[in-house]
A and B are shown apart, each in its own frame.
Chain A
Amino acid sequence: MRVLVGVKRVVDYAVKVRVAADKKAVDLANVKMSMNPFCEIAVEEAVRLKEAKKATEVIAVSIGPKASAETLRTALAMGADRGIHITTDLRTDQELGSLSVAKILAKVAEEESPDAIILGKQSIDGDFGCTGSMLASLMDVPQCTFAAKIDFDASTVERETDTGTEIVKFPGLPAVFTADLRLNEPRYATLPNIMKAKKKKIDAKSIEDLGVELSEGNEVLEVFEPPPREAGILVEDVDGLVDKLKNEASVI
């Protein structure tokens, strides 16, 4: 089984972001970037499949500027075999939309013919969570999103829902899976693997070379910080609560 994993270079999870002066984007200058945490989980899952001898090859793919190659190196250091870097100068946190990403990945999948595609459930900059589903739809293959556990032998996936988990059965491969938090705990990149990763291959090509026509993205009107969280208040009794919910919060 060949596995294709998508990895995205995003603002590091621990960084406190700031809004850019023109309020059209997040300020990325001098900000620490790393691999999207859900992509890390996706890579980990793929590497474990290889270790369990269920997968023969793990290919990591990333879309982004020159520095995305670093993200691919990280995937290689975790155990991926080779990388594909689709270069672009568009901002991957807002200019390159989910549908465009899905189209690019679909084209890559066409060329690589993977049996399984594992993506993170969402990226922590865009938070759209659409790419996986859109990709499956473009490729006309089954999708198992928010996966907490994937069983390739039984062809089932335990997926997260708002109320708990459910087990779904997928008809077969190829299929798209998106990784949720509980799928696994990603490994550290060990030194020997980091060194080995330097010798692994990364193929780079631009979106134009790939021959993909991008969809129009969303237009960002404004980026602003959420209002600061206000302190809670105490209410006298149930009537007071109902009154506040109705007249102040307007939720009932």
Chain B
Amino acid sequence: MNSRKLTLLYQRIRVHNKYQQQQERRRHYCSIERVKKLSAQFRRIASECGEDVEATVLEPDLKGGDASLDKYTTCWRGKWGVKGGEGRGNIVLRPSTTECVRGFVELCNKEGAKVVPQGGNTGLVGGGVPEGYDEVVLSTVRLNSVMSLDSSTSVITLSSGVILSDAIRHCADLGMLYPVDIGSKGTCNVGGNVSSNAGGIYFTRFGSIRDNLVGLTAVTGRGDVLEVGGCAMRKDSKGMDLRQVFVGGEGAFGIITMVKMRVWKKPTTREVAVVGVGGWEEVERLCERAQERMGGLVSAVEVMDRRVLELVKEKVGGGGMGWVGGARYYVLVETMGFDDERDRETLERFLEEVMEEGTVEDGVMAKGEEEIEAIWGVRESCGVAVNRAGGSWKYDVSLELRDWEEVGRMVEEKVRGLGGRLVIWGHLGDRNVHFNVVREKEDGGEGSDITDAIEPWLYEEVIRRGGSVSAEHGIGQCKGDLMEELIVGEAGMEYLRGIKQLFDPNHILNVGRNKTFRERDK
């Protein structure tokens, strides 16, 4: 990459500066007349499709400025999206059938109305919320009527708006395991997981969404209902397959309305231990040992540093933290298997070994499911704790383990002078680290100084070391600028644009995400 391009890139990245974003937003204005006209047309379509019109078409209150639709138009961290107000608001659509989605998309094509597909709105990169007031939010939350598991083929068919934890529980009740499990499972939608190619804690053992997706139904940007994959038999080598276009597509190519996912036989044993280690070298050794000694039994290996645990204690609290001691890093090891008699023993033996060789300082092993849930609860609260701490800057990258500590130290150096500090947690098994810079509100809260200090330096550093700049959080509004230069490359981007043109010729879907899809001269 030559230095001129680099400069241009740095300039574009700085546009992410919040102040300038606000300036941009004022341009994305939508008149009251247009809102009313669109709203009436949406209502007509909803009624034609037999929908409950009041629940399906949510019109913003442009006079009073009530905040009831803010939960659809802003992200849960309050960082991305737009708030409703006087004279400003977004229409929110919540269809409950594929047919209705199709009707809406067809209308939006005709009227040139921009659409933001949205699942549970739990994303971290602003991929599911509008950039301005001229976008219609199309939420899948009411698309949840189908949840049916076929145990003979091990495939579950789900409407895209089914909440992930419901899918997980449904599978568990039938002795099966749904391969996606992420912290936001109580709210996120399974369709959204596919659109953002979510990772999660079972990625190492059970594979990615790309591996497990059997088929899906989507309404393309053109308004066609496309059913891909979906043969009842999983082993179906049809040759060229459109499934993967939508995985990670973040709604740019179509709106997923139905998902077919491969499920696994739920292991009957589950053991969790969380151990404290003194340094990064020990973390690496522990991770390696776990794979060596327990191999396929390991289902998750996660790490949390002491700082984030202190934050969890302070900001989230709750019980079950009795195991947190003074060690610098805590590693959670989970095994899942089918041998009631030996699986617990295997983990115990492993723990004994690592204790004896001095790798481990302290730790506990869960006695039963309740303690297992408590320990995982702490791990899953890391994101929430950081969010409550004040200003937070999140970086979700994939790096070789030996680079985590070094890169972490470099990040610390850059932000220390600005009052920020780094906390780390992540999925050791998949080499996916969550670097989070926190600045307590008293020290200064949100600000672009930390962003400028870290970006794009961190992304470049990660790529230089062969890592990924977005391991599982996706691109969204946050990393769109990086697509061409750092992620896909110029040639790759051209092909992607071609595909985008095919699926969404009028460019109505997710404009603003993956910025390079936008016509260059706009």
Contacts and interface: CB of A to CB of B under 8 A. Distances in A.
Nearest to A36: B368
B368 A191 contact: no
Interface stretch (B108-116, B137-145, B238-246, B358-366): B358-366
A191 B269 contact: no
B369 A191 contact: no
Contacts of A40: 367
A74 B362 contact: no
B371 A188 contact: yes
A201 interface: no
B368 A34 contact: yes
A35 interface: yes
Contact of B269 (A16, A32, A189): A32
Contact of A74 (B268, B338, B367, B370): B367
Given A14-B373, A32-B270, A188 B322 contact: yes
Q: B interface, by DSSP: helix, strand, loop or mixed?
A: mixed
A194 B344 contact: no
Interface in B354-407: 355, 360, 362-371, 373
A35 B369 contact: no
B275 interface: yes
Given A194-B348, A195-B352, A189 B268 contact: no
A165 interface: no
Contacts of A192: 355, 362
A15 B352 CA distance: 28
Contact of A189 (B173, B364, B373): B364
A191 B275 contact: yes
Nearest to A34: B368
B369 A37 contact: no
A70 B348 CA distance: 12
A246 interface: no
Given A30-B268, A70-B344, A187-B322, A194 B351 contact: yes
Chain B: number of interface residues, binned into ranges: 20 to 34
Contacts of B340: 30, 67
Interface in A61-107: 67, 70, 74
A225 B306 CA distance: 45
Interface in A187-229: 187-192, 194-195
Nearest to A197: B348
A178 to B, nearest CB: 20
B207 to A, nearest CB: 23
Given A34-B367, A191-B275, A191-B362, A185 B323 contact: no
Contacts of B344: 70
A115 interface: no
Contacts of A128: none
Interface in B325-356: 338, 340-341, 344, 348, 351-352, 355
B175 to A, nearest CB: 8
Contacts of A74: 367
Contacts of B351: 191, 194-195
Contacts of A16: 172-173
A34 B268 contact: no
Contacts of B273: 191
B319 interface: yes
A12 interface: yes
A13 interface: yes
A189 B367 contact: yes
Nearest to A29: B268
Given A70-B344, A187-B322, A188-B323, A35 B355 contact: no
B2 to A, nearest CB: 54
Contacts of A187: 322
B365 A191 contact: yes
Interface string B6-33: 0000000000000000000000000000
A37 B371 CA distance: 11
A190 B361 CA distance: 11
- Closest 8 pairs (CB-CB, A-B): A34-B368, A14-B369, A188-B364, A30-B268, A191-B363, A12-B369, A12-B368, A190-B364
Given A12-B368, A35-B368, A191-B275, 9 more contacts: A13-B369, A13-B370, A31-B268, A32-B270, A32-B368, A188-B364, A190-B363, A191-B363, A195-B355
Interface of B: 172-173, 268-270, 273, 275, 319, 322-323, 338, 340-341, 344, 348, 351-352, 355, 360, 362-371, 373
Interface of A: 12-16, 30-32, 34-35, 37, 40, 67, 70, 74, 185-192, 194-195
15 contacts: A13-B368, A14-B368, A32-B269, A32-B368, A32-B369, A34-B368, A35-B367, A67-B341, A188-B366, A188-B367, A189-B365, A189-B367, A191-B351, A191-B362, A195-B351
